[in-house]
Structure 1
Amino acid sequence: MKLTETAKAAAGTATALALVLALTGCGSSGTPAPAAAAKPVPSSVPVTKPFKGLRPTAVTIPKIGAHSSLVSVAVNLQGQISVPSVKTPMQAAWYRLSPVPGEVGPAVVLGHVDGDKKPGIFYHLKDLAPGDEVDIDRSDGKKLKFTVDHVTQVPKDQFPQDAVYGNSSKPELRLITCGGVFDHAEHSYEDNIVVYANLAS
């Protein structure tokens, strides 16, 4: 099976962008996290332009009572992935330079653990376990079920880029949020929670 153009784009930009995603977008109490000290990666994809192609529209995780529509996000000219505002911590997002969920490769969905002094959409993401269900709705009307394979908590400076963004031979899903200890000096959590899931149906 051939990779889609979206998947090819993701493969080509994964290494450059993985660290940026790992280190941004996890502010708390309404304070955005500082940008990663990474070289800017220019992008011709406007972050705010509506995505008109096939895309995921919602994510639901029954075990933790999480449900959100999905906005599509990309990379700005500073090389940072644009994430939903911490003032709307219950909004999840699909990184649109990753594959569409259900297509070959690792689709990436991210959300806040908290924000604006409130729990975020992925506040309980760390509580998922192998076998738990993650449901994705798509713009073509398909409803896909993914099954959690494993959950990891890793320091942000040891973010597993290859495991998260590397090519795969089947449809997979990655859910990412922040976790661990909150560093008040840096206004950011020290770790990332990453959920790895495989397409079940």
Structure 2
Amino acid sequence: MSVVAATALAVGACGSGDADPRTSTSPTAVTQTAPVTRGATPSSPTVVEPIRLSVPSIKVSAELVAVEAKDNVVSPPAGAVAWVRGYDRVLPGEVGTSVVTAHVIEGKKAGPFVDLQELDKGDTVSVTDATGAKVVYTVTETRVATKKQVSTDPGVWGENRDTKRLALITCDDDGGFRPDGHRVSNFVAIAEAA
């Protein structure tokens, strides 16, 4: 996984107070809603992609879409919460770490993760797939980190073969802006399924 791409991911998920064309809120990847087959063997299980993320404690119930990096930037569609396809990340609901991102601000209005910083340890997050199956996660830690720290964070990008984990990432709304208009740091919440 490229450090540059991870840094761009952390930046692209933020939005800014201004409608800056360099910080697009338009989708950067095609969303698939049909089941997809993993791996090359005929015995590989069919995986149904997730379609909805719910965080009751901060009143988030949003469409969950897949996005890929384009020119090393991941930009979730306006109004949606996106899981990152690629970089050896898994679909939300699978064993491994899934990176999920959404905007704090979209143009001049609140994005889906505007209140993500209100999450506390013990809060729940659920992911529902197209069949209606739901995986419930519990927040185990929250933190503010610089974009560089996030880009090398083992809890986000490290190997994980034991747990179903979500790394929820958005911009830190309190840390101010860099000269390029992007936020200085990110807010990260790690949640794991029982």
TM-score tier, shorter chain, comes to 0.7 to 0.9
Identity score, percent:
30
TM-score (norm 1): 0.77
Q: What letter matches 2:185 in structure 1? A: D
Counterpart position of 1:170: 163
Aligned with residue 50 of structure 1, among 27, 31, 56: 31
Name the CA distance, whole Å, in 1 between partners of 2:107 and 2:6.
Answer: 25
TM-score (norm 2): 0.79
Q: Against the structure 1 CA distance between its residues 28 and 15, is the aligned structure 2 distance closer, same or farther, given a 3 Å change threshold?
A: closer
Q: Structure 1: which 5+ runs fail to align?
A: 1-12, 36-46
1:64 equivalent to 2:58? Answer: yes
For each residue in 1:95-134, what CA deviation from the matched residue of structure 2 results, as whole angstroms up to 9, or x when unmatched? 1222112211111110111122111111111111111000
Counterpart position of 2:11: 23
Contact 1:26-1:33 at 8 Å conserved across structures? no
Counterpart position of 1:137: 128
Point out 4+ residue stretches in structure 1 off by more than 6 angstroms: none
For each residue in 1:61-120, what CA deviation from the matched residue of structure 2 results, as whole angstroms up to 9, or x when unmatched? 0001111011210122x2222322xxx3x3211112221122111111101111221111
Q: Name the SS of the counterpart of 1:188 in structure 2.
A: coil
1:83 equivalent to 2:58? Answer: no
Q: Structure 2: which 5+ runs fail to align?
A: 37-47
Q: Against the structure 1 CA distance between its residues 119 and 82, is the aligned structure 2 distance closer, same or farther, given a 3 Å change threshold?
A: closer
Q: What letter matches 2:53 in structure 1? A: V
Counterpart position of 2:181: 187
Paired residue total: 172
Name the CA distance, whole Å, in 1 between partners of 2:68 and 2:11.
Answer: 15
Name the CA distance, whole Å, in 2 between partners of 1:50 and 1:24.
Answer: 18
Q: Against the structure 1 CA distance between its residues 136 and 33, is the aligned structure 2 distance closer, same or farther, given a 3 Å change threshold?
A: farther
The alignment yields a C-alpha RMSD, in angstroms, of: 2.1
Contact 2:83-2:99 at 8 Å conserved across structures? yes
